[in-house]
A and B are shown apart, each in its own frame.
Chain A
């Protein structure tokens, strides 16, 4: 287990280095088109070959990781905080507060977000830089993705509020913020972290899907989502397995985070 943890730490360290050092590690800009060699196979000059427009895949992967692995965790953090607040309040207070919160959660789960997102894109100005476009996308995902997680947190908080140690804490005079800070939050930490880690790949994939609707990372900026969209060409994958690397990177990075998380959970 220690070895697995070491591997996970190494992977995450390497990811951080590549994200920060993308400018130095990439042989070319992510937008530069080598038009004489589109769809080239991996070579010394282009480690992962080139894409349909002749852009270096390795450079696009590095910058794509920078975009997605920075913004997706931020959006996941935002959504987890929202879920913790709404779910925690519902579970802590119970009664009509819980009913109101659950109504809000149900409302958020039932609204057809896809159409709302299309509408949002339709009203956004067209002359938006790719960086602004991707930030808006992840902000929207963070703002809208909390409802399902809030249900889980609500259920967890409700269970805790009925547990003996909370009763004992209350009998000992703990109440309000002190009870939340010392007993509720530490015991909800596992659920909150799980929701956080689950949200990251979900948001990365959601961003890829939104790209198909025109709401996502605009060209030429890459993201893991836009690189994953290339996997739609399933017919091409057998002769070009290196195109699967963005997916492999996503799986390895998220798994590494979860290995570390599990270890911390065991300790706590």
Chain B
């Protein structure tokens, strides 16, 4: 009899354990309504979240191991030096509305994605050269895609391509991912329900996702979001500010610092020849010594400790040290050394007269740093730079502008002197930074759209960037990128300041959470998340 009780008890515990892995509604907040539900047109963070949770992709990059894992595609093969990829798809899959999935859908999605008329930024990542993409449906479960030129990081790029249905009457709302959009009340909330046809199963053979639904409330104010988290009204916060992190931590709420992210914050000087700023200032800004001196006079450690309350690391260069494969480990952190900064300035004829630094023509060194209004961290960093540079006799005026005015100055009128902004590096492969580092690129912020490279080092970067984009050999690409990082470290067109940590808040009731430093940090394994009852 005792043995029977024991068996029953074990069975009951097992049942409770399985039950605890199922059901429930996970709740968290989005900062705004998604601008689109078309996964091919995603540009904002809210739309990106919806794409991640609802879109089925051929390949999913594991946010912990950073390895590409089979998703809708059971296997793939890259050939022709990175120009061709052949996918073998899983059989018998269906969209959330029951429409069958086949290679025709992949062909349809890729043709849509690469249509220049669509202006898809996701599609831009695949555009390594002029020419058309060709898709060849080998069978219902096999497809071959040919690109006009080799595409760097080809496999991982498919992580952002949600496969649309060519036949479903629901168009882009038919989902192959773990959830589908069930309700949307603009400005209020979105309800995502469990996709009954989702293909993935757990180790025990149970169909995923565990959750019944995800409710995404639209909440612009991070303070209110934090209070709702404390009250248990939402289960997670994907990106927590350092101040809120500290407060929640002090209140014993569950928060986690996943480590340094790939996001960067940087300062740069306007080096556009036609910029409406005095010629003597242009001469300062184009001088490598001047830029390196400014870099050395900025105390990045203080910035990370004070502005980010220790939840950031001083930046070394283009690539964050957390991006282990691509980071050039030979690079050392920029030293904080005001004496060395002054020596570099003296090499260019600058002289410290009393408390004021003057150039060789006697002009006092004064410039403005523009940043976007409303971003407290950037305003604080600019104020710290103001104080740091005062120590070497430089007067800095901090100017906060609304983002559109700032963008207009950065990209149209070039009427600014220095700018402090950040980059969110969603892609781990640095090829995504082609639009920044090519001298002809729009986003080559310090001197964009150059007809020919303005400096020898920019010419060398152009050459290296093109070489890495055309190569299918990862190790060669790594070498090219190491050199690009070295040049950027020496020339400092961008003075990299810090890499922020990925801070998340996840309630203890959320099971299987495994926060990553890469987006989407807290819910990258959404299909595995479960709520404890």
* Residues of A that sit less than 8 Å from B by CB: 31, 33, 35, 38, 52-54, 118, 121-122, 126-130, 211-214, 218-220, 232-236, 239
Contact = CB atoms under 8 A, between A and B. Distances in A.
A53 B306 contact: yes
B104 to A, nearest CB: 49
Given A126-B397, A127-B417, A219-B398, A235 B306 contact: no
A234 B223 CA distance: 7
Given A212-B374, A214-B400, A235-B247, A33 B384 contact: yes
B306 to A, nearest CB: 5
B368 A53 contact: no
The residue in B227, B306, B307, B386 that gathers the most chain A C-beta atoms within 10 A of its C-beta is B306
Contact of A35 (B302, B370, B409, B416): B302
Contact of A235 (B226, B307, B367, B408): B226
Nearest to B382: A219
B398 A218 contact: yes
A46 to B, nearest CB: 16
B366 interface: yes
Given A126-B417, A236-B247, A52 B397 contact: no
B383 A127 contact: no
Contacts of A213: 373-374, 402
Interface string B351-393: 0000000000000001110100110000110111011000000
Contacts of A129: 397
Given A127-B367, A214-B399, A219-B398, A235 B384 contact: no
Contacts of B247: 235-236
A128 B380 CA distance: 19
B386 A235 contact: no
B243 A214 contact: no
Nearest to B226: A235
B399 A235 contact: no
A37 to B, nearest CB: 10
A212 B371 CA distance: 12
Given A126-B417, A212-B374, A214-B402, A54 B306 contact: yes
B401 interface: yes
A110 B305 CA distance: 46
A28 to B, nearest CB: 13
The residue among A118, A233, A236 with the most chain B CB atoms within 10 A of its own CB is: A233
A127 B379 CA distance: 16
Contacts of B243: 52, 233, 235-236
B498 to A, nearest CB: 15
A108 B112 CA distance: 49
Interface string B401-437: 1100100110000011100000000000000000000
B244 interface: yes
Contacts of A38: 306
A206 B250 CA distance: 34
B386 A219 contact: yes
B410 to A, nearest CB: 12
B132 to A, nearest CB: 42
A216 B373 CA distance: 11
A126 B86 CA distance: 54
Nearest to B399: A126
A57 to B, nearest CB: 15
Contact of A127 (B227, B368, B402): B368
Nearest to B244: A235
A214 B401 contact: yes
Nearest to B230: A235
Given A38-B306, A212-B373, A235-B247, 18 more contacts: A31-B387, A33-B384, A33-B387, A35-B302, A52-B380, A53-B383, A118-B405, A122-B401, A126-B415, A126-B416, A127-B366, A128-B397, A212-B374, A213-B373, A214-B400, A214-B401, A219-B398, A235-B227
Given A126-B370, A127-B368, A212-B374, A219 B379 contact: yes
15 contacts: A118-B402, A118-B405, A121-B401, A122-B401, A122-B408, A126-B397, A126-B399, A126-B415, A128-B397, A128-B399, A218-B397, A220-B386, A220-B398, A234-B227, A235-B243
Contacts of B307: 52-53
A30 to B, nearest CB: 12
A128 B226 CA distance: 37
A266 to B, nearest CB: 43
Given A214-B405, A235-B227, A35 B306 contact: yes
Interface string B270-295: 00000000000000000000000000
Interface string B171-187: 00000000000000000
Closest 10 CB pairs of A and B: A214-B373, A214-B400, A126-B368, A122-B405, A219-B398, A214-B401, A219-B383, A126-B399, A38-B306, A127-B368
A219 B369 CA distance: 11
B359 to A, nearest CB: 16
Contacts of B373: 211-214
A33 B306 CA distance: 11
Nearest to B227: A235
Contacts of A235: 223, 226-227, 243-244, 247
Contacts of A31: 387
Contacts of B367: 127
A235 B373 CA distance: 21
B263 to A, nearest CB: 20
A127 B366 CA distance: 8
Contacts of B366: 127
